[in-house]
Amino acid sequence: MVHRLIAAGRTQRMIADRLGCSQPTVSDIANGKIGKKRPAYSLVKGLVDLIAELDDAAQPEEGN
Protein backbone atom coordinates (compact mmCIF):
# COMPACT_ATOMS: atom_id res chain seq x y z
CA MET A 1 0.00 0.00 0.00
CA VAL A 2 2.82 2.41 0.79
CA HIS A 3 4.39 1.79 -2.61
CA ARG A 4 1.07 2.49 -4.34
CA LEU A 5 0.68 5.75 -2.42
CA ILE A 6 4.21 6.81 -3.31
CA ALA A 7 3.62 5.95 -6.96
CA ALA A 8 0.57 8.22 -6.82
CA GLY A 9 2.73 11.13 -5.69
CA ARG A 10 2.56 10.91 -1.92
CA THR A 11 5.78 11.16 0.08
CA GLN A 12 6.63 9.06 3.10
CA ARG A 13 6.35 12.25 5.17
CA MET A 14 2.84 12.95 3.84
CA ILE A 15 1.77 9.39 4.58
CA ALA A 16 3.29 9.53 8.07
CA ASP A 17 1.51 12.79 8.84
CA ARG A 18 -1.83 11.28 7.85
CA LEU A 19 -1.19 8.09 9.81
CA GLY A 20 0.07 9.92 12.88
CA CYS A 21 3.38 8.10 12.89
CA SER A 22 6.97 8.90 11.98
CA GLN A 23 8.47 8.83 8.51
CA PRO A 24 10.87 6.04 9.55
CA THR A 25 7.83 3.94 10.50
CA VAL A 26 6.43 4.41 6.99
CA SER A 27 9.83 3.46 5.58
CA ASP A 28 9.84 0.32 7.72
CA ILE A 29 6.37 -0.61 6.45
CA ALA A 30 7.47 -0.07 2.85
CA ASN A 31 10.56 -2.21 3.38
CA GLY A 32 8.68 -5.05 5.07
CA LYS A 33 10.20 -4.50 8.49
CA ILE A 34 6.72 -3.89 9.89
CA GLY A 35 4.01 -6.24 8.79
CA LYS A 36 5.60 -9.63 9.34
CA LYS A 37 4.06 -9.40 12.77
CA ARG A 38 0.73 -7.74 13.22
CA PRO A 39 1.08 -4.01 12.60
CA ALA A 40 -1.01 -1.64 14.67
CA TYR A 41 -4.63 -1.52 13.56
CA SER A 42 -4.50 2.27 13.30
CA LEU A 43 -1.64 2.06 10.76
CA VAL A 44 -3.43 -0.48 8.60
CA LYS A 45 -6.74 1.40 8.80
CA GLY A 46 -5.00 4.64 7.87
CA LEU A 47 -3.36 3.05 4.85
CA VAL A 48 -6.66 1.54 3.72
CA ASP A 49 -8.32 4.95 4.04
CA LEU A 50 -5.57 6.62 2.00
CA ILE A 51 -5.88 3.99 -0.74
CA ALA A 52 -9.66 4.50 -0.77
CA GLU A 53 -9.08 8.24 -1.27
CA LEU A 54 -6.85 7.45 -4.27
CA ASP A 55 -9.48 5.17 -5.73
CA ASP A 56 -12.24 7.75 -5.16
CA ALA A 57 -10.16 10.47 -6.81
CA ALA A 58 -9.55 8.25 -9.83
CA GLN A 59 -13.27 7.64 -10.41
CA PRO A 60 -14.92 9.97 -12.94
CA GLU A 61 -17.73 12.04 -11.50
CA GLU A 62 -21.22 11.10 -12.60
CA GLY A 63 -22.76 13.31 -15.24
CA ASN A 64 -19.48 14.09 -17.00
For the chain, the domains span 2-56
The confidence score (pLDDT) of residue 64 equals 55
> How confident is the model at residue 40, as a pLDDT?
86
Q: What is the pLDDT at residue 63?
A: 61
Altogether, the residues listed in the chain come to a count of 64
So what's the pLDDT on residue 36? 64
| 2-56: CATH topology | 434 Repressor (Amino-terminal Domain) (1.10.260)
Model-level pTM? 0.79
CA distance 60 to 44: 27
Q: What angle do CA 33, 17, 3 make, to 5 degrees?
A: 45
From residue 61, alpha-carbon distances to 2, 39, 56, 57, 64 in Å are 26, 35, 9, 9, 6
- Residue-level pLDDT, tens digit, the chain, 64 residues: 999 999 999 999 999 999 999 999 999 999 988 766 777 889 999 999 999 999 888 777 666 5
